Amino acid sequence: MSVSQTPEEVKQQLDQFRTDFQALRREIQKVIVGHAGIVDDTLTALIAGGHVLLEGVPGLGKTLLVRTLAEALHLKFQRIQFTPDLMPADLIGTNVLHETPEGVRRFEFQRGPLFANLVLADEINRATPKTQSALLEAMQERSVTVAGTTHVLAPPFFVLATQNPLEMEGTYPLPEAQLDRFFFKLLVKYPTAEELELILDRTTEAAEPRAEPIFDGRRIVELAQLARQIPIAEELRRYGVALVLATHPENSLATEMTRRFVRYGSSPRGAQAIILGAKIRAILDHRYNVAREDLRATAHAALRHRLILNFEGQAENIQPDDIIDDLLRSVVPPAAAA
């Protein structure tokens, strides 16, 4: 939204943003039953340019959600099944020796499955830390480096990863540096009785529905640029900062629960995710500025994977969401404190 635009032109752009978002949501919901909040949060992260970690027990539709999203977008899609024997070269590619018709031998880079727009990292915590680390550069810099040569990944680039929180045998916890690169961590819950009946109707009695392509990656980038231009008041920005600072036990804003159970709090990326997610939520709620409730609504998804509990917190089975609930009850917005 430039200064030369009229209010009516701005309104038309934001109305089209909502129309496109709702169209993409409807296309996904042709296939995905329930999980309305998960779908909205996944699309929010996608538009914000971030990656998503989906956590839930097997059979809840995590992989199906990512596949359906890929079908609804004109994007190159790759699925990578993470296993203990997966090597970094299996993700990013490697230099292969080729011989030309003239008999000249030279190394050529053979691209791996990471060279896509939408990458499904299925059961990401089953790969070794060495393989998981191959994603670090790709997720942050949107590039990979092989043998001293940097290869840029074509925009847009998104990683949607899944993991099972129950079966820990043969898994490797994601390092904090990698967790921090995920924009949102979303918890996929078990469906209700009504949703389960609808799942059975769609999968056991008729032809299974499929999503149709809605728009391409260029439109995703345009939506992202539009969302970033939504204004946020200074006091609300300070409130978002206060929420993140309160996750650090040594900070003066920390609550008693944070000091007792948290070893290390969120990085600045947590504040970025809260603000960007709040801006998109404001547009979807037919508003042209961010409200405090937008920040509060995005806090759990943005912060839960960025809180590292100490030994006491783990022993007491404290969940990161419990800490965030306490922050939302206790942290006073700067404007109210004045």
* pLDDT, tens only, 77-129: 899 999 888 898 889 888 787 777 777 777 788 888 999 999 999 998 888 88
Residue with tokens 């490797």: 172
Residues in the chain: 338
| Domains of the chain with CATH codes | 1-83+115-143+151-229 (3.40.50.300), 232-338 (1.10.8.80)
**Minimum mean pLDDT among 49-53, 142-146, 163-167, 289-293: which range?**
163-167
Q: What pLDDT is recorded for position 294?
A: 95
Map residue 113 onto helix, strand or coil.
coil
Q: What pLDDT is recorded for position 4?
A: 62
Element of type H or E holding 176: helix 176-179
Beta strands in the chain (DSSP E): 51-55, 73-74, 77-81, 93-99, 105-111, 118-122, 143-146, 149-152, 158-163, 182-187, 215-216, 262-264, 308-309
Q: What pLDDT is recorded for position 188?
A: 87
Q: What pLDDT is recorded for position 292?
A: 93
Question: Which among 19-28, 33-42, 198-207, 292-301 has the top mean pLDDT?
Answer: 292-301
Structure token pair of residue 106 = 């030279």
- First-to-last alpha carbon distance for the chain, in angstroms, is 32
Q: Quickly state the pLDDT bin for 288 (edges 50, 70, 90).
A: confident
**Minimum mean pLDDT among 57-61, 228-232, 248-252: which range?**
57-61
Q: What pLDDT is recorded for position 242?
A: 94
Q: What letter would DSSP give residue 246? A: T
- pLDDT higher than 90, residue 68: no
Alpha helix stretches (DSSP H) within 209-309 = 217-228, 234-245, 256-261, 268-284, 292-303
Kindly provide the b/e burial profile for residues 294-327, where b requires at least 16 CB atoms within 10 angstroms of the residue's own CB. Answer: bbbbbbbbbbbbbbbbbeebeeeebebebbbebb
Closest to 336 (Cα-Cα) out of 242, 234, 256, 235:
235
Whether the Cβ atoms of residue 50 and residue 182 lie closer than 8 Å to each other: yes
Task: Give the tens place of pLDDT for each residue, 170-191.
Answer: 678 888 888 999 999 999 888 8
Q: Quickly state the pLDDT bin for 338 (edges 50, 70, 90).
A: very low
Structure token pair of residue 240 = 């978002």
**For residues 285-306, average pLDDT:** 94
Task: Give the tens place of pLDDT for each residue, 198-249.
Answer: 877 777 766 777 888 888 888 898 999 999 989 999 999 999 999 999 999 9
Average pLDDT, the chain: 87
Q: Quickly state the pLDDT bin for 60 (edges 50, 70, 90).
A: confident
- pLDDT higher than 80, residue 279: yes
Whether the Cβ atoms of residue 65 and residue 39 lie closer than 8 Å to each other: yes
The dihedral over CA atoms of 326, 330, 335, 338, expressed in degrees to the nearest 10, equals -160
**For residues 291-320, average pLDDT:** 94
* Cα–Cα distance measured from residue 156 to residue 220, given in angstroms and rounded to the nearest whole number: 8
Q: What pLDDT is recorded for position 106?
A: 79
